[in-house]
Amino acid sequence: MIWIGTSGYSFDDWSEVFYPPELPRGERLVHYSKRFAAVEVNSTYYRLPHPVVLRQMERKTPESFRFIVKLHQDVTHKRVDDPDHFRRFLDCIAPLEETGKFHGALAQFPWAFQRTPANLDHLRRLRERMGERPVFVEFRHDSWAREETFEELRREGLGFCIVDEPRLRGLFPPLVRETNGIGYVRFHGRNAANWWGRGGGDRYDYNYSDGELSEWIDAILDLGSRTTDTYLFFNNCHAGRAARNASRMSELLDLAPGD
């Protein structure tokens, strides 16, 4: 099964691009779930909401819909290892787990998170705190781009998040691997000029061409043949481009939602 969606869904600049202009904000997920079968919940990176918020989101989606929920920045950027924090996260996602719609947590680490013994220990503790739940790890720094990393992720039962991002020195390259039997790819765009914030624009302001999307077709199909599920999420959310590119990728792969 290949599941395609976007990194977040409730953006005002998607109005008239993806959402009808008259659509109430509270109906965005209903509309989204008619087009895509999975979503990354990115708002939890900034603030862990009350479980009732996730309950309301769950109720707006079909029974087969899937959620991946991003871990809070305290875990990934501040490297907090606090049992109470993880308890709050697990309380937050409980409504999704109760209905079988929670399918993993995303741990997006920053470029400053380099491969060191201390950071390897942090990954092990993260695995312990999350129990048996699927966790996908995204690296930004290329010091992790070695076979030992994938072996360690397999040993800890952690998933690997494949990335498509600018081919800049020091950034993690687009290596296609799976370490927990599930494929996971995030498309960030290739806006090299603004990636480090020097161009004054949004680093995720990027529209993939058909040629750039097609570069991934063989790798995605191969990944899908070796995994139980493969997730493709587009994070180039500026001006609705993630939704457009996700839809186009579905067409190129000739997929219906959840196929």
- Per-position pLDDT tens, the chain of length 259: 999 999 999 999 999 899 999 999 999 999 999 999 999 999 999 999 999 999 999 999 999 999 999 999 999 999 989 999 999 999 999 999 999 999 999 999 999 999 999 999 999 999 999 999 999 999 999 999 999 999 999 999 999 999 999 999 999 999 999 999 999 999 999 999 999 987 667 899 999 999 999 999 999 999 999 999 999 999 999 999 999 999 999 999 986 454 5
CA–CA distance, 235 with 195 (Å, rounded to integer) = 13
CA–CA distance, 153 with 178 (Å, rounded to integer) = 9
CA–CA distance, 36 with 30 (Å, rounded to integer) = 10
Can you give the pLDDT at residue 83?
A: 92
CA–CA distance, 232 with 229 (Å, rounded to integer) = 10
Element (H, E) at 136: strand 135-138
Can you give the pLDDT at residue 257?
A: 52
Element (H, E) at 5: strand 2-6
Q: Which ranges of the chain would DSSP assign to H, the alpha helix?
A: 28-33, 51-59, 73-76, 83-98, 117-129, 147-156, 210-214, 217-225, 241-253
End-to-end CA distance of the chain: 5
Classify the phi-psi angles of 16: left when phi > 0, otherwise alpha if psi is within -120 to 50, otherwise beta. Answer: left
